[in-house]
């Protein structure tokens, strides 16, 4: 009688609760999320939906800042306000109803407007990891954005008006270690095997039970001997077919590892080189010129560069990750062990160089731990740095805006709508009321003149069509919950990317039109 299979280790209540998302960004990503706090400025449907997307996965805490009270018109588009809160603080109502979604999350509220906070205690925002703002007038938005830029606090600004929605991310510098590329290439080093791998490959008999990597190495060696020009790996379609044919001709039956080796010819070579993105990081002034205020990312990046250039013949550290292979357990585990040991050795060398740099900078040795260095070495090929722009720069003359204009027309309806929404925000600041709230036709003329002056100030010789401006006024400042929910969901994802330092966030503007279900990302 066979013995029962061993039980899986019991998951903690927390792991059970967040199991799905931990599969996406790992325990370390969840830890960063649970340590983060965000502030929501201005209670709107899109703002509440954004925070909802952070409360559910367990953000550490959130604060709602709004000085207004709940009115009848607020109840039709915001699920996080109800009749029991009529006449009461919007910030309180929003905070209480959001916190009900996840008792593990700390909620707080401030019954003060953004204008009041900026005028009386601007340092209020400095302690947050990120600030979310929504549907502000132009003056308040620019004051808030400038204050957060000075404090180096990321700002995510969301708009939702009628069938339109936008997201704008303002962030000084964002360093990404785990970019999670869609098509990750496994770094196998078959063309330049390290000593332990070469010894294993040369000393293991190739049978139908070994991993395909050994099969491919055996016939790659045969193929290399046939090349008069000494080519180390097949590069052209013809050369790859020659290698496939060499393997296929040696098959004695339906051997799965041989079939897998044939399929792997396209993807098994070429990894380990310095990609363009990493090269630009190595050449960056922040990497070349370290100082006491340098982000630990740049210290690790310089140590990585030293390892690649001076100690590893131009190759990246070995990630130590193997793809699945059909093989017997012992042979696969033996191969896996060799790769993992080499990855640890490479990471250890980078770590020791990090410690040298920390010592030179008179920084604590525990500023960088081994786990962080191992992660950086494993993900070296996908490292990325995003340097954002101040939101205020969009309101100044800039050559970046010129490609958006052609034949005196803004390129694409989505671009036109984005500038129309900015004109709408300037209208709020200058006129003190919502365009289209009372007199649509009169407000269209005022909005048109504001939009024309705004584009002229930007140096853009273009116009926004009357149809677009009429559409903005027709909405009368109304939010549709379906549009706000979609924009809020997208915005919450961007916040999580910034906080966990995983995946690449938008750079820097996302625009959505629910009428045509079109969207576009622009760098403004």
- pLDDT tens figures, 265-322: 888 888 888 999 999 999 999 999 999 989 999 999 999 999 999 988 889 999 989 8
Alpha helices in 81-192 (DSSP H): 90-99, 114-120, 138-151
Instruction: Write down which residue in 338, 356, 386 finishes a domain.
Output: 386
Q: Is residue 102 located within the same domain as residue 142? A: yes
Same domain, yes or no, for 25 and 87? yes
pLDDT bin (cut points 50, 70, 90) of residue 126 is very high
- Domain boundary residue, one of 270, 298, 317: 270
392 within a domain of the structure (yes/no):
no
> Contact at 8 Å (CB) between 210 and 221?
no
Nearest to 446 by CA among 425, 465, 431: 431
Radius of gyration, CA atoms only, the chain: 28
Confidence at 2, pLDDT banded by 50, 70, 90:
very low
Domain limit, last residue, from 242, 270, 298: 270
Statement to judge: residues 297 and 149 lie in one domain: no
Give the pLDDT mean for 467-488.
Answer: 86
Helix residue ranges, H only, 154-311: 195-203, 212-226, 237-249, 256-264, 276-282, 285-288, 296-306
- With cut-offs at 50, 70 and 90, classify the pLDDT of residue 516: confident
Please report, for the chain, how many H helices and E strands are present, in that order. Answer: 19, 12
Residue 292, domain member (yes or no):
yes
Q: Is the pLDDT of residue 248 over 90?
A: no
Instruction: Give the mean model confidence (pLDDT) for residues 467-476.
Output: 82
Residue 407's pLDDT band, with cuts at 50, 70 and 90, is very low
Domain check: are 438 and 495 in the same one? no
The answer to whether residue 109 scores a pLDDT higher than 90 is yes
My answer on whether 22 and 138 are in the same domain is yes
Q: What is the structure's pLDDT at 12?
A: 65
- Read off the pLDDT band of 405 (50, 70, 90): low
Predicted confidence at residue 402, as pLDDT, reads 61
**Tens digit of each residue's pLDDT (9 = 90 or more) over 177-216:** 998 888 888 888 888 888 999 999 888 888 888 899 998 8
Q: Which of 98-112, 224-238, 442-456 has the highest mean pLDDT?
A: 98-112
Q: Is residue 338 part of a domain?
A: no
> Across residues 129-133, what is the average pLDDT?
94
In the numeric block, the tokens 């954005």 are attached to: 145
Q: Examine the domain organization and report whether 81 and 96 are in the same domain.
A: yes
pLDDT for res 341: 94
Q: Is the pLDDT of residue 141 over 80?
A: yes
In a domain, 254, yes or no: yes
508 lies in some domain: yes
Say if residue 140 is in the same domain as residue 213.
no
Is 343 a residue whose pLDDT tops 90? yes
Q: What is the mean pLDDT of the chain?
A: 86
Based on the domain organization, do 369 and 484 belong to the same domain? no
pLDDT score at 472: 82
**For residue 335, is it within any domain?**
no
* pLDDT at residue 102 tops 50: yes
| pLDDT greater at residue 89 or residue 432 | 89
> Of 98-112, 162-176, 401-415, which range is least confident?
401-415
Assign residue 459 a region (left: φ > 0; alpha: ψ between -120 and 50; beta: otherwise). Answer: left
3-state secondary structure 359-405: HHCCCCHHHCCHHHHHHHHHCHHHCEEEECCCHHHHHCCCHHHHHHE
CA distance 12 to 415: 48
Cα 339 from Cα 446, distance rounded (Å): 68
Backbone angles phi, psi at 89, to 5 degrees: -65, 130
- Strand pairing class (106-110; 61-65): parallel
The answer as to whether 184 is a domain residue is no
Contact 167, 137 (CB under 8 A): no
- Kindly report the number of other CB atoms within 10 A of residue 232's CB atom: 12
**160 vs 144: CA distance, rounded Å:** 19
pLDDT of residue 138: 83
Q: Do residue 17 and residue 86 come from a single domain? A: yes
Q: What is the rounded average pLDDT of the residues 64-74?
A: 85
* pLDDT grade for 342, boundaries at 50, 70 and 90: very high
Tokens standing for residue 148: 């957060």
C-beta neighbour count of 435 within 10 angstroms: 25
The DSSP-derived string for 191-202 is: SS--HHHHHHHH
Nearest to 312 by CA among 167, 428, 218, 195: 195
- Residue 367, pLDDT above cutoff 80: yes
Tell me the pLDDT tens digit for each residue of 8-39: 455 666 777 888 888 888 888 899 999 999 99
127 within 8 A of 34, measured Cβ to Cβ: no
Tell me: pLDDT of 408 over 50: no
**304 and 224 in one domain?**
no
Rounded CA separation 223/339 (Å): 24
Helix (H) or strand (E) holding 355: helix 329-360
Closest CA relative to residue 94, chosen from 105, 104, 107, 103: 107
Say which range, 142-146, 205-209, 337-341, has the weakest mean pLDDT.
205-209
- CATH of residue 145: 3.40.50.720
Euclidean distance between CA atoms 461 and 343, whole angstroms: 56
Distance, in Å, from the CA atom of 262 to the CA atom of 407, rounded to the nearest integer, reads: 53
Domain that holds residue 322: 273-327+348-386
Please give the model's pTM, rounded to 2 decimal places. 0.86
- Quote the pLDDT of residue 9: 53
How far apart are the C-alpha atoms of 506 and 491, rounded to whole Å? Answer: 10
Question: How far is the C-alpha of 167 from the C-alpha of 391, rounded, in Å?
Answer: 12
Q: What is the mean pLDDT of residues 57-72?
A: 90
Q: What pLDDT sits at residue 1?
A: 40
In 3D, which of 131, 155, 160 has the Cα closest to residue 36? 131
Is residue 160 pLDDT above 50, yes or no?
yes
Say yes or no: 81 and 106 in one domain: yes
Between CA 144 and CA 521 the distance in angstroms is 23
SS3 content of the chain, % helix, strand, coil (to 5): 50, 10, 35
Look at residue 398 in the predicted model and tell me its pLDDT.
Answer: 64
Q: How many domains does the chain have?
A: 4
What distance in Å separates the CA atoms of residue 281 and residue 300, rounded to the nearest whole number?
11
Q: Are 359 and 433 members of one domain? A: no
- CB-CB contact of 141 with 133 (8 Å): yes
Domain membership of residue 148 (yes or no) is yes
């Amino acid at each position: 009688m066979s013995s029962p299979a061993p039980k899986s280790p019991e998951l903690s209540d927390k792991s059970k609760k967040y199991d799905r998302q931990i599969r996406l960004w790992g325990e370390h990503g969840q830890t960063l999320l649970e340590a983060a706090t965000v502030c929501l400025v201005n209670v709107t449907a899109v703002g509440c939906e954004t925070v909802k997307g952070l409360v559910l996965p367990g953000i550490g805490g959130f604060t709602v800042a709004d000085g207004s009270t709940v009115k009848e018109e607020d109840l039709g588009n915001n699920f996080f306000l109800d009749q029991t809160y009529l006449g009461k603080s919007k910030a309180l109502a929003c905070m209480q109803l959001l916190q009900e979604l996840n008792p593990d999350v700390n909620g707080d509220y401030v019954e003060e407007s953004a204008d009041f906070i900026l005028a009386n205690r601007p340092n209020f925002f400095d302690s947050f990891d990120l600030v979310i703002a929504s549907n502000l007038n132009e003056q308040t938005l620019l004051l808030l954005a400038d204050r957060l830029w000075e404090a180096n606090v990321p700002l995510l600004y969301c708009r939702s008006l009628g069938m339109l929605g936008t997201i704008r991310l303002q962030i000084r510098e964002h360093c990404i270690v785990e970019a999670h590329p869609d098509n990750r290439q496994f770094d196998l080093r078959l063309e330049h095997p390290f000593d332990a791998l070469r010894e294993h490959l040369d000393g293991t008999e190739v049978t139908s039970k070994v991993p395909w990597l050994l099969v491919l190495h055996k016939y790659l060696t045969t193929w290399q001997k046939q090349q008069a020009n000494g080519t180390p790996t097949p590069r052209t379609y013809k050369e790859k077919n020659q290698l496939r044919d060499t393997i296929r001709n040696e098959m004695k039956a339906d051997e799965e590892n041989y079939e897998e080796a044939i399929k792997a010819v396209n993807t098994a070579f070429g990894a380990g080189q310095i990609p363009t993105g990493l090269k630009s990081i190595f050449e960056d002034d922040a990497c070349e010129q370290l100082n006491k205020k340098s982000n630990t990312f740049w210290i690790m990046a310089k140590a990585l560069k030293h390892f690649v250039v001076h100690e590893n013949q131009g190759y990246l550290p070995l990630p130590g990750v193997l793809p699945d292979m059909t093989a017997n357990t012992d042979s696969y585990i033996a191969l896996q062990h060799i790769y993992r040991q080499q990855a640890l050795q490479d990471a250890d060398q980078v770590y020791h160089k990090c410690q040298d740099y920390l010592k030179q900078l008179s920084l604590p040795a525990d500023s960088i731990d081994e786990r962080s260095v191992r992660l950086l070495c494993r993900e070296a090929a996908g490292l990325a740095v995003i340097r954002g722009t101040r939101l205020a720069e969009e309101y100044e003359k800039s050559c970046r805006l010129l490609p958006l204009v052609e034949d005196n027309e803004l390129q694409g309806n989505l671009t036109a709508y984005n500038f129309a929404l900015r004109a709408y925000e300037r209208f709020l600041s200058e006129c003190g009321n919502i365009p289209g709230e009372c007199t649509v036709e009169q407000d269209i003329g005022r909005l048109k003149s504001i939009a024309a002056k705004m584009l002229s100030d930007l140096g853009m010789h273009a116009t926004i069509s009357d149809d677009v401006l009429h559409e903005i006024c027709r909405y009368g400042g109304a939010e549709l919950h379906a549009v706000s929910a979609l924009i809020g969901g997208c915005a919450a994802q961007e916040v999580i990317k910034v906080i966990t330092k995983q995946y690449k966030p938008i750079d820097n503007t996302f625009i959505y039109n629910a009428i045509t279900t079109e969207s576009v990302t622009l760098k403004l």
